[in-house]
């Protein structure tokens, strides 16, 4: 054993290095083929080039903006927070010990991203966002400390931000990229003032000393797992996670993650018991008591972690299901429930002692209330929008990643570019725009298809479902066929623009108008055909 150990070590090292090298190589190829060419540093937007306002400078906003400028559009990013906390979005405001739970191959928020590890840390993720921001010369196009509070159309049908046309100009399209994690949620627990220890939010653990202390984590989401890991690594004496509801935990295994994200129905189906049974049998094993009872895996965002169970088995931590009764001097009085007993149901009352309470209670959702009131009218209110991101009344608004509720997949992947390019297509080619009527029918159809789902039709999705949506949306309209390669891969934008120009000529010869009939016409918007010819090819 002693002889083989150094050899095993060497072989593992070689194996990891070879894979890391191949991973980097593959990413360089992806960047070469799919990343849009950044504008030269001195480039000024062409006169009349369509302008897009991007709201939020997190990875979605930065990625969307880079696609816009890379395809010849002008952009202005509005970020509510100062640069230090705003650039990089939520990844600028979490612990340095945070890291991706899902494999980075499923977190390629931009084609030029180059991950040098499978599970990058907060600093690496932030760095990649900043690099894209710099590479696409977005610095001079970003206004920090500028929360967007309103969005209105002027008489020419152009969007005006914060009622200030003179300051920011007007916009043809909007990408709302406000994310889903806003300010930390810090609910006050009953009699919290009695507690003699310290209370922190899970996103604020940097520099906190947990060595030799009893740490209680409130919440049962991904942040609770991160807080548990933080406490283990800090040498806490005892760690208890108090979770009032159950979520699925899936292994950190890229094949398993991709397979689970490949459910084209995006909902629980009659065969969903198979992955659930496999997970209980081979992943949870002796800890299957922690797994959710009666809650399907395709209903709620699962947590991705493989080490948690090892920590519990090693006696370093406990994961307790139940309800907080109140806080006491020494800790938390807790009603410990068994598997399957609902929230507030009967259980065993215990005192969980604590020196530190970590509130892993999540984040409040950033508001989209700056959008026109119309888009919030049920039954077509978010997330029940076209493809979940386009409010049916306005194909010029793309709420990229901002209406997301639950999913298997990730928030930061190629879909950011696909949604952005769909918006660009709608902006430059009115014939490709769906009308309000058809957008609503699409939403109705999705509801019908998912009528037996335990969640709302748009409250849960999987990647395969997204791909199916995109293919269906592009394939259904002949005027969009020419755009397919551009929308899906960001390549070949010269061809559709040439065809669009040809279509324009034909229409001019026939004396037809055409474009005005598509989407947003009731807002008095002028045809954007004038703008499209300025888009760089
Ligand atoms: C610790 C942690 C780990 C995570 N890990 C993963 C993971 O492994 N996989 C995954 O898929 N997701 C993960 N997430 C979810 C995370 O939300 C996404 O990874 C991603 O950061 C979302 O990026 P975004 O740009 O859409 O939103 P954000 O990063 O939240 O950025 C939105 C930006 O918009 C700004 N903004 C909001 N409202 C306005 C306004 N009205 N005007 C102007 N600006 C505004 C905000 O200030 C913010 O900077 C994690 C989240 C946390 C907290
Ligand atoms: N590395 C990663 O991948 C990673 C790390 C952290 C976060 N994230 C992502 O960030 C988002 C937020 O995750 P999160 O874990 O911070 O939040 P979350 O998923 O919203 O979970 C919050 C947890 O706190 C519980 N909770 C809330 N208020 C409570 C109260 N008053 N008393 C007791 N329990 C309470 C919730 O219970 P109920 O469910 O019953 O409300 C839930 O279990 C998610 O999208 C997540 O995937 C990812």
Q: How many CA atoms lie within 13 A of 160 on its CB side?
A: 13
- Looking at the fold, whether 201 and 337 belong to one and the same domain comes out as yes
Pocket of ligand 1 contains residue 400 by CB under 6 Å: no
Asked if residue 526 has pLDDT above 60, the reply is no
Within this chain, do residues 196 and 113 fall inside the same structural domain, yes or no?
no
Q: What is the pLDDT of residues 208-245, one digit of tens each?
A: 999 999 999 999 999 999 999 999 999 999 999 999 99
Least confident interval from 145-149, 311-315, 479-483: 479-483
CA–CA distance, 288 with 283 (Å, rounded to integer): 8
pLDDT in tens, 250-260: 999 999 999 99
* Tens-digit pLDDT profile for residues 457-481: 999 988 888 877 877 788 888 888 8
Whether 499 is covered by a domain: the verdict is no
User: Lowest mean pLDDT: which of 60-64, 189-193, 464-468, 512-516?
Assistant: 512-516
Q: What pLDDT sits at residue 510?
A: 63
Q: Is ligand 1 within 6 A of the CB of residue 106?
A: no
Neighbours of 428 (CB within 10 A): 26
Whole-angstrom distance, CA of residue 353 vs CA of residue 335: 14
Q: What is the pLDDT of residue 471?
A: 78
Average pLDDT score over residue span 66-87: 96
Coil, strand or helix: which one is 495? helix
Q: How far is the CA of 494 from the centre of ligand 2 (A)?
A: 45
How far is the centre of ligand 1, averaged over its atoms, from the C-alpha of 88 (Å)? 8
Mean pLDDT, range 363-371, rounded to an integer: 98
pLDDT at residue 70 greater than cutoff 60: yes
Q: Residue 397 and residue 53: Cα distance in Å, rounded?
A: 10
Residue 479 has what pLDDT?
Answer: 83
97 lies in some domain:
yes
The DSSP secondary structure of 269-334, one letter per residue, reads: -TTTHHHHHHIIIIIIGGGGGGSPSS--GGGSPPEE-SSHHHHHHTTS-EEEEEEEEEEETTEEEE
Task: List, in order, residues 6 or more apart from 527 with CB less than 8 Å away.
Answer: 430, 515, 516
Residue 104: partners with Cβ closer than 8 Å, 6 or more residues away: 115, 117, 118, 119, 120
Give the other-Cβ count within 10 Å of 118's Cβ. 17
Q: Tell me if 490 CB under 6 Å of ligand 1.
A: no
Output the pLDDT for position 277: 96
Q: What is the pLDDT of residue 142?
A: 98
Instruction: Tell which one of 188, 223, 229, 410 to mutate to probe ligand 2, the residue whose CB is within 8 A of the most ligand atoms.
Output: 223
Distance 71 CA to ligand 1 centre (A): 24
Average pLDDT estimate for 348-376: 98
Domain boundary among 359, 384, 411: 359
| Mean pLDDT taken over the chain | 90
Ligand 2 pocket test: which of 119, 201, 219 has the largest number of ligand atoms within 8 Å of its C-beta? 219
Same domain, 140 and 259: no
Q: How far is the CA of 90 from the centre of ligand 1 (A)?
A: 4
How many structural domains comprise the chain? 2
- 200 and 86 fall within a common domain: no
Last residue of a domain, one of 408, 428, 448: 428
Question: Do 40 and 153 belong together in one domain?
Answer: yes
CA 37 to chain centre: 24
Please state the atom number of ligand 2 nearest to the C-alpha of residue 323. Answer: 33
Lowest mean pLDDT among 16-20, 106-110, 120-124: 16-20
Q: Tell me: do 341 and 205 sit in the same domain.
A: yes
Please indicate, yes or no, whether residues 376 and 355 belong to a single structural domain of this protein. no
Confirm whether 87 is domain-assigned.
yes
Shared-domain flag, residues 107 and 223: no
Task: Tell me if the bond preceding 379 is cis, omega within 30° of 0.
Answer: yes
Residue closest via CA to ligand 2's atom 17 equals 362
* pLDDT at residue 14 tops 60: yes
Q: Which domain holds residue 220?
A: 192-359
- Tens digits of per-residue pLDDT, 270-314? 899 999 999 999 999 999 999 999 899 999 999 999 889 999 999
Q: How far is the CA of 89 from the centre of ligand 1 (A)?
A: 5
Between the CA of 201 and the centroid of ligand 2 the distance, in Å, is 11
Residue 145 has pLDDT above 50, yes or no: yes
Q: Do both 328 and 312 map to the same domain?
A: yes
Whether residue 381 is found in the same domain as residue 290: no
CB 53 within 8 A of CB 134: no
Q: Looking at residue 2, what is its pLDDT?
A: 53
The CATH number given to whatever domain includes residue 169 is 3.50.50.60
The minimum-distance atom of ligand 1 relative to the CA of 149 is 41
Decide: residue 477, CB within 10 A, 0-12 exposed, 13-18 middle, 19+ buried.
Answer: middle
Listed residues 413, 428, 443: the one ending a domain: 428
- Separation between Cα atoms, residue 242 and residue 379, nearest integer Å: 36
Within a domain: residue 272? Answer: yes
For residue 343, give the ligand 2 atom closest to its CA. 40
Q: Average pLDDT in the 384-402 region?
A: 96
Does a structural domain hold residue 216? Answer: yes
- Residue 202 near residue 242 (C-beta atoms within 8 A): no
The number of the ligand 1 atom at minimal distance from the alpha carbon of 98 is 1
- What percentage of the chain has pLDDT greater than the value 70? 93
Quick check: 492 pLDDT over 90?
no
Distance between CA atoms of residues 71 and 57, nearest Å: 19
For residue 479, tell me if it sits in a domain: no
Q: With respect to residue 244, please indicate whether it lies within any of the assigned structural domains.
A: yes
Residue 311 in any domain: the answer is yes
| List of E strands, 92-168 | 142-143, 151-153, 159-161
Average pLDDT over residues 530-534: 38
Question: Which structure tokens are listed for 346?
Answer: 């009967």
pLDDT in the model for residue 327: 98
Shared domain for 210 and 326, answered yes or no, is yes
Q: Does residue 460 contact residue 264 with C-beta atoms inside 8 Å?
A: no
Residues flanking ligand 2, CB < 6 Å = 98, 100-101, 181, 187, 218-224, 226, 243-245, 301, 324, 360-363
For the CA of 189, the nearest atom of ligand 2: 31
Q: Are both 50 and 168 inside the same structural domain?
A: yes
Q: What spacing in Å lies between the alpha carbon of 421 and ligand 1's midpoint? A: 20
C-alpha 537/C-alpha 86 separation (Å) is 32
pLDDT greater at residue 38 or residue 185: 185
Residues 474 and 488: their CA atoms lie apart, in Å, by 9
Instruction: Flag whether pLDDT at 522 surpasses 60.
Output: no
Q: Which helix (H) or strand (E) segment is 507 a member of?
A: helix 494-510
């Amino acid at each position: 054993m002693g002889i083989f150990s150094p050899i095993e070590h060497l072989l593992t090292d070689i194996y990891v290095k070879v894979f890391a090298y191949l991973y980097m190589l593959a990413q360089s190829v992806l960047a070469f083929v799919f990343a849009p060419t950044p504008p030269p540093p001195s480039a000024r937007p062409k006169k009349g080039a369509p302008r897009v306002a991007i709201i939020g400078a997190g990875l979605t906003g930065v990625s969307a903006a880079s696609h816009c400028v890379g395809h010849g559009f002008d952009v202005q990013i509005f970020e509510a927070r100062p640069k230090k906390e705003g650039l990089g979005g939520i990844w600028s405001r979490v612990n340095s010990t945070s890291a991706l739970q899902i494999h980075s191959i499923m977190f390629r928020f931009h084609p030029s991203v180059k991950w040098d590890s499978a599970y990058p840390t907060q600093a690496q993720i932030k760095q990649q966002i900043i690099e894209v921001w710099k590479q696409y010369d977005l610095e001079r196009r970003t206004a920090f400390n500028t929360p967007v509070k309103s969005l209105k159309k002027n008489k020419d049908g152009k969007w005006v931000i914060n009622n200030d046309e003179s300051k920011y100009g007007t916009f043809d399209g909007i990408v709302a990229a406000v994310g889903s994690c806003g300010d930390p949620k810090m609910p006050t627990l009953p009699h919290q003032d009695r507690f003699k220890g310290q209370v922190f939010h899970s996103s604020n653990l940097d520099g906190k000393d947990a060595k030799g202390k009893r740490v209680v984590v409130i919440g049962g989401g991904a942040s609770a797992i991160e807080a548990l890991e933080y406490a283990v690594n800090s040498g806490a004496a005892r760690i208890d996670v108090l979770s009032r509801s159950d979520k699925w935990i899936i292994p950190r295994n890229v094949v398993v993650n991709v397979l689970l994200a490949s459910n084209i129905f995006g909902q629980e189906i009659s065969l969903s018991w198979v992955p659930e049974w496999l997970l209980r049998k081979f992943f949870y094993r002796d800890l299957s008591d922690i797994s959710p009872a009666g809650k399907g895996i395709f209903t709620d965002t699962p947590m991705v972690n493989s080490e948690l169970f090892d920590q519990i088995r090693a006696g370093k931590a406990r994961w307790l299901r139940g309800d907080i009764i109140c806080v006491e001097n020494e800790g938390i009085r807790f009603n410990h429930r068994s598997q399957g007993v609902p929230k507030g149901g009967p259980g065993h009352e215990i005192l969980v002692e604590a020196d530190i309470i970590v509130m892993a209670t999540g984040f409040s959702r950033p508001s989209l209330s700056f959008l026109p009131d119309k888009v919030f009218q049920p039954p077509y209110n978010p997330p029940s929008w076209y493809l979940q991101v386009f409010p049916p009344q306005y194909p010029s608004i793309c709420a990229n990643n901002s209406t997301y509720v639950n999913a298997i997949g990730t928030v930061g992947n190629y879909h950011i570019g696909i949604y952005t390019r769909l918006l660009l297509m709608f902006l430059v080619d009115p014939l490709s725009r769906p009308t309000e009527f058809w957008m609503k029918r699409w939403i109705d159809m999705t509801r019908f298809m998912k009528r037996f789902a335990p969640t709302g039709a748009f409250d849960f999705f999987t990647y395969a479902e997204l791909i199916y949506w995109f293919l269906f949306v592009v394939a259904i309209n002949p005027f969009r066929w020419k755009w397919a390669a551009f929308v899906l891969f960001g390549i070949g934008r010269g061809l559709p623009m040439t065809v669009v120009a040809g279509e324009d000529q034909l229409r001019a010869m026939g004396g037809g108008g055409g474009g005005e009939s598509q989407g947003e016409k009731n807002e008095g918007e002028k045809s954007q055909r004038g703008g499209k010819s300025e888009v760089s090819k």
